[in-house]
Amino acid sequence: MLRLIGVGGVIAYRALFNWTTPAMFVGTLLVGPVFQLLFFAFLGRQLGVGSDHFYIVGNAVFASATACVYGGVMAVANERRFGTLGHVLLSPRSRTAIFLGRALPYAANGLLVAAITLLGGVLVLGLSVPGSALPGLLLAFAAGSVSSAFFGLALGAVGLRLRDVWLISNVAVALMLLLTAVNVPAAALPEWIRAVGSFVPITHAAEAARRLAAEGSPADSLAPLGVELVVGVAYAGLAAVLLRIFEAESRRRASLDTL
């Protein structure tokens, strides 16, 4: 089972990424997030809202989420686009395990993207992160990446039913920017947005990362990290259920490869 999840996931990740180029990877996943970070950091400076530290750490976590949500969606949607979904669903092994395994390389990718975005922010805006906080920060990025990848997988599962999954994923990522309070201090958001945001990936990971980067005690970040992992597990469960339901539905309606 571990081989199916691990090796299968890595092979699928390589196969999907082989369609693209290093320029695409750098432009989309590395350059774009650094400019997003700079945009919000300068906006915050201009308005006198939040510190550079607030925007750098928040946007580093958000960068991982963007990579992971789209990655999770691609793990399902691109199989259909490239005409290989039928072959995957013909497999005698558990499709739940296959697809959950697909999300994990994207989570690792998200971790890399978050680390590079953080580095970019530190270099351009001059934030100092204590060395002792780095392991905890990586843990927070990893937790955010995993929950975002499973969230993406759940959205990708919806793509088995809908024709244009990219519409949902684009709107979802835009909403995450608002709901997760990565770019607006939570206190400035209305209660209902904060309530909805607490169920959205990376909200708690960003909070944990900010506490760690502010030289807080690692113990302070354990509670938000734990909640982030619970959110991630919940989305993994949701993705598994949706994949089963929509796979059965797609077979019944013969709409598996309908684009």
Partner 1 sequence: MNLVRMLAVGTWLHVKQLSRSPFEIATSILIPLVQATLAVYLFRASPQPQALLGAAVGAGLMGVWSSVLFGSGGAIQRHRWEGTLEVLLLAPRRPALVILPFTFATAVTGAYSIMATLLWGRLLYGIRLTFADPVGFVVAVPVCVLSLGMFGLLLASTFVLMRNANALTNALEYPIWLLSGMLIPITALPGWTGPIAAVLPTTWGSRAVRAAATGGDVWPLLAVCLAISLVCLVLGALALSYVERRARVAATLALS
CA distance 189 to 28: 29
- Is 53 an interacting residue with respect to partner 1 (CB under 8 A)? no
Is residue 219 within 8 Å of 185, Cβ to Cβ? no
Is residue 62 within 8 Å of 202, Cβ to Cβ? yes
Query: Position 113: which residue type?
Result: V
Candidates 184-192, 222-230, 239-247, 250-258; binding stretch for partner 1 (CB under 8 A): 184-192
Min. distance of Cβ 32 from partner 1 in angstroms? Answer: 5
- Is 125 an interacting residue with respect to partner 1 (CB under 8 A)? no
Is residue 220 within 8 Å of 72, Cβ to Cβ? no
Candidates 153-161, 171-179, 198-206, 217-225; binding stretch for partner 1 (CB under 8 A): 171-179
Site for partner 1 in 4-23 (CB under 8 A): 20-21, 23
Q: Which is nearer to partner 1, 165 or 209 (CB)?
A: 165
Is residue 96 within 8 Å of 4, Cβ to Cβ? no
Q: Which is nearer to partner 1, 64 or 221 (CB)?
A: 64
- Is 215 an interacting residue with respect to partner 1 (CB under 8 A)? no
What single DSSP character describes residue 21? -
Q: Which is nearer to partner 1, 115 or 175 (CB)?
A: 175
Reference 102, options 66, 77, 141, 76; nearest CA is 76
Candidates 88-96, 97-105, 150-158, 162-170; binding stretch for partner 1 (CB under 8 A): 162-170
- Is 122 an interacting residue with respect to partner 1 (CB under 8 A)? no
Is residue 89 within 8 Å of 247, Cβ to Cβ? yes
Q: On the CB side of 166, how many CA atoms lie within 13 Å of its CA?
A: 5
Sole binder of partner 1 in the list 4, 10, 17, 49 (CB under 8 A): 49
The 3 state secondary structure assigned to 172-229 is HHHHHHHHCCCCCCHHHCCHHHHHHHCCCCCHHHHHHHHHHHCCCCHHHHHHHHHHHH
Sole binder of partner 1 in the list 8, 9, 44, 121 (CB under 8 A): 44
Min. distance of Cβ 214 from partner 1 in angstroms? Answer: 19
Which residues of the chain form contacts with partner 1 (CB under 8 A)?
20-21, 23-28, 31-32, 35-36, 38-39, 42-49, 164, 166-167, 170-171, 174-175, 177-178, 183-185, 187-189
